[in-house]
Amino acid sequence: MREFFLYIIATLITPGPNTIISFSNGLRYGVRKGIRFNLGAFSGFSFLMLFCLLCSRTIYRIIPHIRPVMSVLGAAYMLYQAYRCLKGSAISADASSTAGFKEGFLLQFVNVKAILFGITAMSGYIVPMVPSLALQCLFAIILALTAFLCAVLWLIAGAFTGRAAPLKGKYINYISGVLLIYCAFRLLQ
pLDDT for 144 equals 96
Q: Please list the rounded mean pLDDT of every run of 10 residues in the chain (189 residues).
A: 75 83 88 94 95 76 66 71 68 53 92 84 81 91 95 91 63 71 73
The structural domain count of the chain equals: 1
Sign of CA dihedral 19, 123, 110, 105: negative
pLDDT for 95 equals 41
Contacts of 114 (CB under 8 A, 6+ apart): 16, 17, 18, 45, 48, 108, 147
Per the structure, the complete domain to which residue 171 belongs is given by: 2-9+16-89+98-187
Other beta carbons within 10 Å of 58: 9
